[in-house]
Amino acid sequence: MIFVRTYVMAPIIRNDPVGWLDNYSMIMQIKDGCMIIGMKPIMVMLLMITNLSNSNFISQLDSMPASQRNTASIALTAPIFAQHKQVHATIIQHMTSKNISITEATKISNYILTFSDKYNVDPTLIVAMIEVESYYQPNRIGKHGDTGLMQILPSTQRYMGIKGELTDPEVNIHVGCKYLAYTQSRFGPDLGIVAYNQGEGNIVRGTFKTTYLMKVKKVWSTMKNRTSY
């Protein structure tokens, strides 16, 4: 067995805390910055040696055989995946079932897991909200200027103190997760979701509707039923 020293992946491979190597045979070759590991029965896992955000590697996901794509995408989020491996797999599966490419699904899942973990919000809830808000369209702009995957208003972005372009999925999901954490801490789990969509003022005045909440919960329940934490 060959072990590769890399600042992110090496501890996971050497210590194997989550069973990465349970069903693998041996490292077959190292090529193009990726370590290719033989798997049982036939699948191949590609683990990045240099940088988990390597854009060349991500861009190659869509051209991989179907048997390799999901496994390779999981490798991109290995540090987070160690904690949320089933959630990551569920997000990827759900998004690709909505005709989102494995490339985009992997990047979006990476950001969701990163920022939902940072702000202690449910990652599958974030997926449900993205689906209802924009149906995974990062460049979507609403009639009130709400922008991107989570339909963030520029004023909300300023309020959260996060800079960057709201059409950038990383920035958008960062703002969305932080704002949802804030609204849920102020109004509770359900009303926090409503406040995210309709504004805090409507919650305070009691002039909100629950249509958005029901739509989100419908998608969310599907996600939760397929995920065990």
- Kindly tell me if the per-residue pLDDT of 53 is higher than 70: no
Q: Which residue has tokens 């494995």?
A: 102
What is the per-residue pLDDT across 82-113, written as a single tens digit (0 to 9) for each?
A: 567 889 999 999 999 999 999 999 999 999 99
Domain coverage including residue 37: 1-76
- The amino acid that residue 144 corresponds to is H
> 3-state DSSP call for residue 220?
helix
What is the per-residue pLDDT across 169-223, written as a single tens digit (0 to 9) for each?
A: 999 999 999 999 999 999 999 999 999 999 999 999 999 999 999 999 999 998 8
- Does this model's pTM top 0.85? My answer is no
- Kindly tell me if the per-residue pLDDT of 81 is higher than 80: no
pLDDT of residue 58: 54
- Report phi then psi at 38, rounded to 5: -70, 140
- 41 with 92, same domain: the answer is no
Mean pLDDT along residues 5-13: 33
- 103 with 215, same domain: the answer is yes
Of 203, 118, 106, the closest CA to residue 160 belongs to 118
CB atoms under 10 Å from CB of 88, counted, come to 26
Q: Which residue has tokens 């599966």?
A: 93
Residues 6+ apart with CB under 8 A from 194: 187, 202, 203, 208, 209, 210, 212, 213
* Highest mean predicted confidence (pLDDT) among 8-22, 68-82, 125-139: 125-139
Token pair of 109 as six digits: 């899942």
Query: pLDDT grade, residue 142 (50/70/90)?
Result: very high
- 210 with 112, same domain: the answer is yes
Question: What CATH number is attached to the domain comprising 183?
Answer: 1.10.530.10
Query: pLDDT grade, residue 27 (50/70/90)?
Result: very low
Number of domains in the chain: 2
- 35 with 95, same domain: the answer is no
Q: What is the DSSP string of 82-144?
A: HHHHHHHHHHHHHHHHTT--HHHHHHHHHHHHHHHHHHT--HHHHHHHHHHHTTT-TT-B-TT
- 67 with 6, same domain: the answer is yes
* 111, 121 contact by CB (below 8 A): no
- 225 with 114, same domain: the answer is yes
Mean pLDDT along residues 221-229: 74
Taking the C-alpha atoms of residue 206 and residue 208, their distance in angstroms, rounded to an integer, is: 6
- Kindly tell me if the per-residue pLDDT of 136 is higher than 90: yes
Domain end position, chosen among 58, 76, 94 = 76
